[in-house]
Amino acid sequence: MISIRLTLALCITISIILYGCSSQRREAIPTLNWYVAGEPSGAFSMAARRCSEDSGQAYKIEQVPLPADADQQREQLVRRLAAGDNSIDIIGMDVIWTAEFAQAGWILPWTGETAEQAKAGRLDAPLQSAIYQNQLWAAPFTTNIQLLWYRTDRVTAAPATWDEMILVAESLGKTGTIQAQGERYEGLTAFFISLLASNGGSVLDVSGKHISLAQQPTLQTLSTMARFANSRAAVRALATTREDQARLAFESGHSSFMVNYPFVWPSAQRNAPEIVKHMGWARWPAAIEGKPSRFVIGGLNLGVSAYTPYPQLAFHAAACLTAARHQRMAAELGGLLPTVAALYDEPEIRATYPFADVLRSSLNDAVQRPQTPLYNDISLAISRTLHPMRDIEPQKDFIRLRRAIERALNSEGLL
Amino acid sequence: MNQKKSNERRLGWLLCAPAVTALLVVTAYPILYALWLSLFRYDLRFPEQRAFIGLDNYVSILTSEVWWHALGNTLILTISSVSLELLLGFPLALIMHHTLFWRRAVRAATLIPYAMVTVVAALAWKFAFDPTTGFVNALLGMEQVWLTQRWSAFLVIILTEIWKTTPFMALLLMAGLTLVPHDLIQAARVDGANAWQRFIKIIVPLMKPAILVAVLFRTLDAFRIFDTVFILTRGAQGTETVSLLGYNTFIVSLNLGLGSAVSVLIFIGVLIISVLFIKGFGASLTQGEKAE
């Protein structure tokens, strides 16, 4: 399956390159290329079609699919943008790229009327993810945040903290495992930053230029991670588990707990009707009793490339694509959470997402990953230092982590 | 005699000239540009902060444990895969050389793995060793999660490399086997040498140039190994190689200065390997010519 996708992606990339080399970008109706991760439900292409129709022949939006893996999406985009590729008009940006793309001058700032449209009625955390140095750089489109999923037939109530969850899981014996993401990739970084924020710490200080990583919360976070990975509650494949492997394992009934994104809900309804009956949800477990957890916010914002021949049209098109009606469509068809606050009160959305209130309260307390152009290096520094989780030694790794992040911040040295 | 020799030499250079020129045009500029870039602090995310820093990038790489770790990994992969390939390649070459029936079919069949795109081959191996869907665990009755531990991941990477490139090795060795004159073998037979003695005393010495070329090519390839590791582990579990390091620094982190310095160091590594080989076995190359 993956190889088919990869081959497809390669074919598409090659044809795009060939097309890009051969085409003159001046057409009767301007085509706006929207580079965005493939969206299987068709919600994105429907939005693109509708916006093109509503524009009254002003523009036509073409979707250009990017690879499924976020790292590979970024690799392709930064390569093209660094080379000033003018075939890109609108970019589906992971929330963690805002600072980097803005600082490098690859995307245009939003101002005036389209900026107002992009901000209209948005939840605060997704909006903040599109802002860098007090300037809006993208239109918040979809958002994402992890919840705790658990088996109501095995435990009566969701555990409130990680410590409690590990204890309960161990007492359940063979089926008591907790599914989490421990592979060496962004997911491990997200896990660490969220647990750190729940402990009251942060990676960088308020300025975003200097390291924070206070000793007490960091050590607390590292020891919780080590304890979890070495307990019977962790699965043996933790070091290579990503979101999807965790979902599959939970759907097979082998685990009682899982921290994962809401996409697991529609998936379980399709693939594991027996499990769904006993599937409960709760907020991501806290680190400190009585102090609500804070998970990092994910999602997709739409930016406008600095190299587009049609900047004005691209801003209009991006504002149209991210409008509330298209967010509703993406939420209902594609399982992508909206960034417009009012949508969480709509009956249709609440029917699709019975956990809408938990989502909203989680989003209200969500934490941003470090908003710095060097985020990618920092993330690598974190995931490399802390992988595999079972080998974490809090005291030693606290020093290693600080050193790795310092080096990343100075953009010196290998990661 | 000397006049003739120098004429020969000149003709040799003339014949090589077009190829040498083409190579220089295509490769000299990128290599020199990489050398130039490696002397700068140049990060594409901070294009305005470009500054000349001399050899600082090299200092920072050579003092980093990451580089030495990656270099160690690369050498482990190179030495183990090339030596095993040589051991496996010889019997394959002999089989291909001596087949009487369906000679072409045998050679084609042997070459299939080499004809495959490395990425595809690596993906196939990745699926085979997957703990849930792969057949390897079922076959061996094991519950091993191969790609999550350093040594088992290394093992899979090395096996993939061997499976993929042994045919290439065998092909080059087979070309070397055709260099061995048949009457020499016959003469050795008459003198009472058994098969092993014939192989060690006659075939191998005469094949030395071919063996050298085969081992050198494979060593250089293996030293620059990228795609297999990229697909199988992405360099996780401490399986990062120098090429992956270059890719991560240059393409992923957009640190052009540091990334170029890594590439230059890889280039220097390749040069050292070539020089060692040619100096170490140089005699055998000319001997090969003399033997004729």
Instruction: State the amino acid at position B137 in one-letter form.
Output: N
Is residue A82 scored above 70 in pLDDT? yes
For chain B, count helices (H), then strands (E). 14, 2
Check if the beta carbon of residue A278 is closer than 8 Å to that of residue A169. Answer: no
**Chain B residues touching residue A236 (CB < 8 angstroms):** 145
Number of domains, chain B: 1
Query: Is some CB atom of chain B closer than 8 A to the CB atom of A70?
Result: no
| Per-residue confidence (pLDDT) for residue B89, from 0 to 100 | 92
pLDDT on residue B290: 45
Q: Which pLDDT tens digit goes with each residue over B90-108?
A: 998 988 888 777 878 888 8
Q: What is the pLDDT of residue A200?
A: 96
Would you say residue B214 lies in a domain?
yes
pLDDT at A13: 55
Give the rounded percent of residues in chain A with a pLDDT score beyond 90: 80
Q: Give pLDDT tens digits for A234-267.
A: 998 898 888 988 999 999 998 999 999 999 999 9
* Residue partners of B33: CB distance under 8 A and separation at least 6: none
Nearest to B253 among A3, A185, A415 (CB): A415
Residues of chain A numbered 352-381 and touching chain B (CB < 8 Å): 373-374, 376-377, 380
pLDDT over 50 at A386, yes or no: yes
Tell me the mean pLDDT in the region A161-189. Answer: 93
Condensed to tens digits (0 to 9), the pLDDT of residues B12-30 reads 999 999 999 999 889 988 9
Q: What is the pLDDT of residues B264-291, one digit of tens each?
A: 999 999 999 999 988 877 655 554 444 4
Cβ of A167 under 8 Å from any chain B Cβ? no
Q: Mark out chain B residues that contact chain A at CB-CB < 8 A.
A: 41, 43-47, 60-61, 64, 66-67, 119-120, 123, 127, 131-132, 145, 147-148, 234, 236-237, 245, 248-249, 251-255, 258, 262
Q: According to the CATH classification, is domain A147-296+373-410 in 3.40.50.1820? A: no
User: A87-101, A346-360, B93-107: lowest mean pLDDT where?
Assistant: B93-107
Work out the minimum CA distance from B111 to partner chain A, whole angstroms: 22
CB-CB under 8 Å, B252 with A75: yes
Q: Is residue B178 part of a domain?
A: yes
Q: Residue B211: which domain range?
A: 64-283
Within a domain: residue B290? Answer: no
Instruction: Select from B47, B66, B120 the Cβ nearest to the Cβ of A414.
Output: B66
Q: What is the mean pLDDT of chain B?
A: 87
The answer to whether residue B181 is domain-embedded is yes
Per-domain residue ranges of chain A? 31-144+297-367, 147-296+373-410
Nearest CA to A182 out of A174, A194, A190 is that of A190
State how far the Cα of A183 lies from the Cα of B28, in Å rounded to an integer: 40
Q: Chain B within 8 Å of A186 (Cβ-Cβ)? A: no
> CB under 8 Å to A253, separation ≥6 — which residues?
A175, A272, A274, A275
In a domain, B118, yes or no: yes
pLDDT at B284: 52
Interface contacts (A, B; CB < 8 Å):
77
Is residue B253 one of the residues assigned to a domain?
yes
Contacts of A237 in chain B (CB under 8 A): 131, 145, 148
Residue A358 one-letter amino acid: V
CB A184 within 8 A of CB A392: no
Note whether A31-144+297-367 and A147-296+373-410 share their fold.
yes
How far apart are the C-alpha atoms of B122 and B162, rounded to whole Å?
12
pLDDT of residue A22: 47
* Full DSSP string of B67-93: HHHHHHHHHHHHHHHHHHHHHHHHHHH
Give the one of B41, B66, B236 whose C-beta lies nearest to A387's C-beta: B236
Which chain A residue has the Cα nearest residue B147? A240
Q: Do A239 and B44 touch (CB under 8 A)?
A: no
What would the pLDDT profile of B211-254 be if each residue is shown by its tens digit?
Answer: 988 999 999 999 999 999 999 888 877 889 999 999 988 888 88
| B255, closest residue in chain A (CA to CA) | A411
Q: Contact at 8 Å (CB) between B280 and B55?
A: no
For residue A213, name the pLDDT band (cuts at 50, 70, 90): very high
- Give A272→chain B minimum CA distance, Å: 18
Burial of B173 (0-12, 13-18, 19+ CB in 10 A): buried
Question: Which tens digit of pLDDT belongs to each residue from A292-313?
Answer: 999 999 999 999 999 999 999 9
pLDDT of residue B142: 79
Query: What per-residue confidence (pLDDT) applies to B291?
Result: 42
How far does A342 lie from chain B, in Å, by closest CA?
Answer: 37
Res B292: pLDDT: 38
Q: How confident is the model at residue A225 (pLDDT cuts 50, 70, 90)?
A: very high
**pTM of the entire structure?**
0.81
Q: Is the pLDDT of residue A88 over 60?
A: yes
B48 domain residue, yes or no: no
A415 — contact with chain B (CB < 8 Å)? yes
Rounded mean pLDDT of B27-41? 92
* Position A329 pLDDT exceeds 70: yes
Query: What mean pLDDT comes out for the span A99-105?
Result: 93
CATH code: domain of residue B264: 1.10.3720.10
Distance from CA of A360 to the nearest CA of B (A): 34
Which one is predicted more confidently, B107 or A76? A76
Determine the residue among B40, B45, B150, B250 to mutate to test chain A binding: the one whose Cβ has the most chain A Cβ atoms within 10 Å: B45
Provide the token pair at A108: 């245009």
Quick: pLDDT tens for A128-166.
999 999 999 999 999 999 999 999 999 999 999 999 999
Residue B145 has pLDDT above 80, yes or no: no
By mean pLDDT, which of A153-157, A222-226, B197-201 is the weakest? B197-201
Best CATH choice for the domain A31-144+297-367 from the list 3.40.109.10, 3.20.20.70, 3.40.190.10, 3.90.79.10: 3.40.190.10
Query: Of A6 and A339, which is predicted with more confidence?
Result: A339
Please list every residue in chain B whose beta carbon sits closer than 8 Å to the beta carbon of residue A229.
none
What part of A 228-257 touches B (C-beta under 8 Å)?
Answer: 236-237, 239-240, 248
